[in-house]
Amino acid sequence: MLMKKTILLYISAAIWFLNCANTTPAKHDVSQLNAQDKKLLKGIQDKIFNAFVQTNIQKDPKALLVIKGKLQNLADSNSNNVVTYWQSYLQYYLSICYMTQGDPTQAEEEIDRAVDLMEDMNDKNSEDYALLALAQSFSIQFKGFKAMFISSAIQKNGKRSMAMEPKNIRAYYVLGNSDFYTPEQYGGGEEVESLLLKAIALPEQLNKNPYLPSWGKAESYQLLVRHYLKSDDKTKAKTYCKEGLAQFPNNYGLGKLAIELLD
Amino acid sequence: MNKVLPISLLLCLQLQAQNLIKGVVKDDKGPVFAANVFLKSNPEQGTTTDFDGSFELGVISENDTLVVSYIGYTTLETLVRRLQKNRIHVFLLVRSAQTLDEVILFGPDPISNKFSVQKLEKLDIYMSPIAQGDPLKAITILPASTIDDETVNPSLRGSNPDRSRVIFNNVPIYNPVRASRLNNQGFFSLFNTELIDKQYVYASNPPLVYGNTSAGLVEIQTIKMLKNDQLKLSSSLASTGFFASKRLKKEGSFLQLYSNYQFSEAFLGIQEGKLPDLNKFNTFDIGLNTRFELNKKLSLNSFSYFIDEDFSGVRQQFTYQGDFNSTKTRGFTINNLNFASEIGFFNLNFGFNSESQDFLFGNTNSIQNTNQLFASINHKVKLGSSISHQTTLSWDQFSTDFDNEVPEFFYAQSPESPSVNSNFDDTNTLLEIGSYTSWDAMDDLLVSAGWRTNISNNGQVNYWSYQLGFRYNINGENSLLLSGGKYHNYTTPSFFIQQYRLLNSQQVALDYTYTSERTSLTAAFYYKEEKGLQTANQFLFSDNLSTIGAEFFFQRQFTDRLQFSVAYSFINQTTSFGDATFPGLRDYDYFIKSSLTYTPKNWPSFSLNWLARPGQRYTPIIDSTLDTNTGFYEPIFSTDFLNTRYGNYTRLDLSVNKYFSWNKRELVLFASINNILNRSNQREDIYNTDYSQRSFVPYQLRLLYFGLVYTLNR
């Protein structure tokens, strides 16, 4: 009797499995997307960053929310890991935006969404793990006592990103970033210098590609300068600030650090 | 004008000279968007694929090489001259094989972890309102935990604890409890939460990565990385101890050393009469966990533990009540050698456990010596992007030597009553081989399958265990787990049952999980048939147990400071003695656990925990006859087995904690009041001399406990 029940159960499971196979939309079936969608994704990193700058000037998240809506429409019509990546990346900036506007509750909600999007993504590659670690790093400030434990997840995701692609600049940046913000009492600050020096020596992208991420180099320079400032090594701070500005002359953060160093 | 014409002409000629290569880039799931397509001679002048994976690229030289690449995939290179003109070529990208670095990083993770019903990390254990920092106590909040005797040896979904196993770093630890009584049950586990990285709970269908379990499994993995050095000093009403951890020079290497001494004087002194069956306890334990990263590919973890327990109290058996004394020493070591290579991740596991227990009560004098040797080798490999496979070979040898003086007549247990010698000396060697596969079948569907068989020796029956599981992630918040299979295990011999007996079970379970930022909801339905001779209590044995159960769990973080949870279980259990069927021992219409935690700002956090269930089932003594040989009355049990229940069990506990931190120091002050309503929950039935009057021994009454933990981080 039990055997009969077990067989029936397996048959039901198999039917259900086949139904799933027929009804679940294929994640990579993006042939229906149009030229406008492609245009949206071309150079999307700069579009998000520029919108973020705009939100800071206008003290209004509208510019980011407009892109968020467009990406959501794109994701709704046909999901794709590239689209999910940029949705999460946008959430990260949206969270920073709310944070600078003094709304930590909304900031936490947005960064949690960034983390969820990446955590739920299947077949993550090196870039995806790096972004997940970055979002988790930013979320740590809202997690109080849990911070110490999220830190181990950041380490794991950052290291996985590095293991999958040892030349991915963003893997080194997120691990350096995590080490920079980990309190010394919990072992922080020991690897930040070596990780960031490695990051700035790597190319932004291994092959130029307008749809894929290229962030991390200017950020690595900024963090490296801040690390040297923190350890009272102004000579090295100046050297790397100058080197960074030579490559990213319009970078606001590096410019601000340069002024600080002049003072 | 004259100059313009030749230039235009040249351009036209060049365009005509270019061949246009058209293609579509795909992977195993369809078109790949944003893949890089370029010529090896000029990587800067490439293109990227469209949403449908298509691309077009102009080529001048037939001798060039076309490169198709995308992060996470193996790069494709094709000679241009091999590509036919005017044809759309399909380029199939294959996901990169796992790199050695990935094997090193993720090889140690359990292959079956996505099929567990709960994963707890160190913080979850510390934050649990009922765990008191104990990893096995932490799982008692789950509806699947059906421990009904205030102990921590896991009973999962109504099964006898001896059917489930606790695995510590790939090695089984039998009876992983301290302060154990004769029935091998204890109030705390042997494990220190500071050692733990993750703890997985499989309430049903234990993954066949491990053997010798026919109910559920708790898998504990220790930490792989130590972020900082630490010294913890703790002191409480009944214990004092320390915990020290230190990173070693070699990166990734560290050691953790701890020791505790437990004593009863103050604990019992301030609450006289609240633990009527306890006279005294003294326990000393020491543990050392070390991890060495020998090189990038090779690591060694070693955990050794020793405990010495002395426990005395008052015990009632039928009509005799007297003092008992139990001393127990136990030591075990668990060693794991991990090796990563291009062909997968290997680990060699070795465990040795030795324990010796003396128990003295009335005319019972029991000396029990147990040794266990365990060795296993596992090989884990990733096949493509979606299949993980593990092969395992294990050898588990259990040796028991009992030298017992036991009552000649079970109802005559006074020191003067006659006793007989009952010795047992036997070894059971379990040699098993098996494999387990986890397959990411589709984006939202995971499938697992496993099998395991024994290589029989010494007349053992040959058996096959097998299982199949499906996890369907409906979306980011909802998930379904359907699993079923057949499982086997051998019992561990005990004072009451001195035998290695083969048990089996057939189970099917459906688990649903909903998790959002602040809410967690689970529901489960299961059915299992458990076969093989097992104890219902010390006098009753059953060879067939049938259980149908339903579980619900709701947890909500209402605000940052207020959290509530409630767990409900329904367990319909029947057992057979011969041809007759009776209710099972863990047959409960309701088993409710609820917890409310409030953490006000600048004030200590408070947790109220409530547990309610019907009383345990027992078979009452309805009559007696005087045995003139012993002078004791011989009890006559009701033939309607397990038809009576003790009174309903209800317990309300309160715990209070306050955390302080300054510079690199932390201080936690804690206090708890267990059974704050001082309710007398019936534990055992005892009788007067001729069994004409029945009374009950209660579980622990209201108890106060407090202490502090001071931590210095470096």
Q: Which pLDDT score is estimated for A123?
A: 83
* Residue among B31, B127, B714 whose CB faces A28 most closely: B31
Residue A11 confidence class, pLDDT cut points 50, 70, 90: very low
> CB distance A31–B52 less than 8 Å?
yes
A28 pLDDT above the threshold of 50 = no
Compute the distance between CA of residue A110 and CA of residue A91 in angstroms, rounded to an integer.
Answer: 6
Q: Please give the residue of chain A at the shortest CA–CA distance from B484.
A: A6
Compute the distance between CA of residue B286 and CA of residue B259 in angstroms, rounded to an integer.
Answer: 4
> CB distance A186–B713 less than 8 Å?
yes
Q: Environment class of residue A25 by beta-carbon count within 10 Å: exposed (0-12), middle (13-18) or buried (19+)?
A: exposed
Q: How many CB atoms lie within 10 A of CB B8?
A: 9
Q: Which residues of B touch A82 (CB under 8 A)?
A: 33-34
User: Interior CA angle at A159 toward A154 and A164, to 5°?
Assistant: 130
**β-strands B694-698, B703-713 pairing:** unpaired
Which one of B49, B50, B51 would you mutate to disrupt binding with A, by most A Cβ within 10 Å of its Cβ? B51
DSSP letter at A184 equals G
Compute the distance between CA of residue B523 and CA of residue B479 in angstroms, rounded to an integer.
Answer: 11
Q: Which residues of B touch A5 (CB under 8 A)?
A: 508
Which one of A9, A28, A119, A160 would you mutate to disrupt binding with B, by most B Cβ within 10 Å of its Cβ? A28
Integer angstrom CA distances of residue B447 from A10, A13, B468, B469: 12, 11, 7, 6
The helix (run of H) or strand (run of E) holding residue B229 is: none
Q: Please give the residue of chain B at the shortest CA–CA distance from A111.
A: B517
Q: Which residues of A touch B482 (CB under 8 A)?
A: 13
Q: Which pLDDT score is estimated for B273?
A: 78
- Distance between the two ends of chain A, CA-based, in angstroms? 84
Q: How many CB atoms lie within 10 A of CB A188?
A: 17
Compute the distance between CA of residue B571 and CA of residue B203 in angstroms, rounded to an integer.
Answer: 14
Q: Which pLDDT score is estimated for A23?
A: 35
> CB distance A207–B38 less than 8 Å?
yes
> Quick check: B452 and B208 in contact, CB under 8 A?
yes
B150 Cβ under 8 Å from any chain A Cβ: no
Residues in B 491-520 with any Cβ partner in A closer than 8 A: 506, 508, 517
> CB distance A26–B29 less than 8 Å?
yes
Nearest CA distance, A33 vs chain B (angstrom)? 7
Q: Which residues of A touch B127 (CB under 8 A)?
A: 145
Q: Which residues of A touch B48 (CB under 8 A)?
A: 209-211
Residues in B 158-217 with any Cβ partner in A closer than 8 A: none
* Residue among A78, A109, A209 whose CB faces B34 most closely: A209
Across the A:B interface, residue pairs with CB atoms under 8 Å apart total: 138
**Encoding tokens for residue B168?**
């510590």
A94 pLDDT above the threshold of 90 = yes
Compute the distance between CA of residue A248 and CA of residue A250 in angstroms, rounded to an integer.
Answer: 6
Main-chain dihedrals φ then ψ at residue B59, nearest 5 degrees: -130, 135
Residue A2 confidence class, pLDDT cut points 50, 70, 90: very low
Q: How many CB atoms lie within 10 A of CB B572?
A: 16
Where in B93-225 does DSSP place strands (E)? Answer: 118-121, 165-168, 171-173, 177-178, 188-189, 196-202, 217-222
Compute the distance between CA of residue B331 and CA of residue B352 in angstroms, rounded to an integer.
Answer: 8
A31 pLDDT above the threshold of 60 = no
- Mean pLDDT, chain A, integer: 83
Main-chain dihedrals φ then ψ at residue B496, nearest 5 degrees: -80, -40
Amino acid at B106: F
Residue A173 confidence class, pLDDT cut points 50, 70, 90: very high
Give Cβ neighbours of residue B394 (< 8 Å, ≥ 6 apart): B210, B211, B374, B375, B376, B430, B431, B432, B433
Length of chain A: 263
**β-strands B633-637, B171-173 pairing:** unpaired
**Which stretches in chain B have pLDDT values below 70?**
1-18, 179-186, 536-540
> CB distance A185–B713 less than 8 Å?
yes
Main-chain dihedrals φ then ψ at residue B442, nearest 5 degrees: -140, 180
DSSP letter at B484 equals E
**pLDDT, tens digit, 9 for 90 and up, residues A109-162:** 999 999 999 988 888 899 999 999 999 999 988 876 666 667 778 888 999 899
> CB distance A163–B104 less than 8 Å?
yes
3-state secondary structure B508-567: EEEEEEEECCCEEEEEEEEEEEEEEEEECCCCCEEEEEEEEEEEEEEEEECCCCEEEEEE
Q: Which pLDDT score is estimated for A72?
A: 93
Q: Which residues of A touch B31 (CB under 8 A)?
A: 28-31
**Encoding tokens for residue A123?**
């077949």
> Quick check: A158 and A129 in contact, CB under 8 A?
yes
Nearest CA distance, B211 vs chain A (angstrom)? 22
Residues in B 421-480 with any Cβ partner in A closer than 8 A: 440-445, 447, 468, 470, 472-473, 475-476
Q: Which residues of B touch A38 (CB under 8 A)?
A: 50-51
Q: Which pLDDT score is estimated for B1?
A: 40
Which one of B204, B227, B661, B668 would you mutate to disrupt binding with A, by most A Cβ within 10 Å of its Cβ? B227
Integer angstrom CA distances of residue A125 from A131, A165, A172, B72, B102: 10, 9, 15, 5, 12
> CB distance B121–A149 less than 8 Å?
yes
Q: Which residues of A touch B528 (CB under 8 A)?
A: none
